[in-house]
Structure 1
Amino acid sequence: MMRTRIANLACLRGNTRGATLVEFGLIAAPLCLTIMAIADLGYQSYLRSVTRGVLEQASRSASVGTLTSAQIDTYISTQMATINAKNGTTSVVKKSYYNFSNVGKPEKITTDTTPLGSYNIGDCYEDANGNGSYDTALGSDSLGGADDIVYYEVTVSMPRVFPMAKMLGWNPTQSAKATTIVRNQPWANQPKPAIKCT
């Protein structure tokens, strides 16, 4: 009886049937997770390129004066409708500046009183956006006029394609952002910013 058991154990030791199934079971989960992660990153790249293409087309049309601000928003939302149909949202930011050196900077102080280098009572500044007050974040929320610089930003947010985001520690919502800066065509004279003093 003991010899029979030993013979059976020796027979099992040489048996390799089913080893492939065990090995596949060990690598199946990481393999599936890797494939889903690659597909998810590929879809995010696709989102970014579509958003970039839509933004470039809209900004080119706006720079020659053929689209208004509302028409740009409508054009972008129409082009992104297929993507937004999957619970996505699109946001558009448009800011116009007098020239490239003003992008992302405060309005220029022309007459500076003590303390120097910061805006205070008694200073004069270029009211580039025409709102009558000094702004640390220059730019008006419009397409501007002839020869103005316009900054466009389109952000698309939507749920991830695969539910593995939590396993990887990723946010369950993915977003793609595209930005561009273009100069409007000089179809008219660009007005100089007014100088305001307080």
Structure 2
Amino acid sequence: MSRRHAFAQRLRDNARGATLMEFGLIATPLCLFIMGIGDLGYQSYLRAVTQGVLDRAGRAASVGTLNSTQIDAYIDAQMQAINTKNGTTSVIKKSYYNFSRVGKAEKITSDTAPLGTYNSGDCFEDSNGNGTYDAEGGVTGLGGADDIVFYQVTVSMPRLFPMAKLLGWSTTQSATANATIRNQPWSNQATPATICK
């Protein structure tokens, strides 16, 4: 056997570099998978922290300890540790007469054809006191005694890992927390006026 042929055979039979090649093939998908798990874990953490802050703020507001401006300041202060990485926080507070009205249109009390939609001649409960029928009821703010307050806090910030662009995801991630709490009955709840037009 010639020297050249023997060297080629030894090179062909040598498997010492195969592990390196195999690792090279799985390294990129493995790294993406690990970063994806880390990213989803961080989003769950954001949601849990945001929900905890919102629950404490909502409870303080329901017993009259904090007003609307103080709630926003409290949530911003609590979220500051997370928002140090260019994050933003937005807060929505809307009050409703009862739990069944949260996120729904104002209640139609007498309905004319076509039924199920507000028409001229229908009567409705003017829950936000503006004198017109609204497809989205509720009053911005904390409401009054015995009212239901819906809180929503959304925190948005840049993703932890750069793999979002590789996967076609947005470069920011958001976590939203909701809470619906009844204010304490420190006085009589105002009953919405019924308006017919």
TM over 0.5, yes or no? yes
Q: What runs of 5+ residues in structure 1 fail to find an aligned partner? A: none
Q: Distance in 2 between matches of 1:111 and 1:7?
A: 98
Q: Which amino acid aligns with 1:86?
A: K
TM-score by length of 2: 0.94
Aligned to 2:52: 53
Aligned to 2:100: 101
Displacement of 1:15 after TM fit? 2.0
Q: Distance in 2 between matches of 1:57 and 1:13?
A: 68
Displacement of 1:112 after TM fit? 3.1
Indicate whether 1:34 and 2:33 are aligned: yes
Q: Distance in 2 between matches of 1:97 and 1:182?
A: 10
Indicate whether 1:188 and 2:187 are aligned: yes
TM-score by length of 1: 0.93
Q: What is the correspondence of 1:3-152 to structure 2 with a 5 Å cutoff?
A: 3-152=2-151
SS of the equivalent of 1:58 reads helix
SS of the equivalent of 2:140 reads coil
Q: Distance in 1 between matches of 2:12 and 2:110?
A: 92
- RMSD (Å) for aligned C-alpha atoms: 1.5
Aligned to 1:153: 152
Q: Distance in 2 between matches of 1:60 and 1:18?
A: 63
Using the TM superposition, name which of 153-162 and 110-119 deviates more. 110-119
Distance 1:116 1:86, change over 3 A: same
Q: Which amino acid aligns with 1:38?
A: I
Q: Distance in 1 between matches of 2:54 and 2:178?
A: 8
**Count of aligned pairs between the two proteins:** 197
SS of the equivalent of 1:82 reads coil
Q: What runs of 5+ residues in structure 2 fail to find an aligned partner? A: none
SS of the equivalent of 2:177 reads strand
Aligned to 1:162: 161
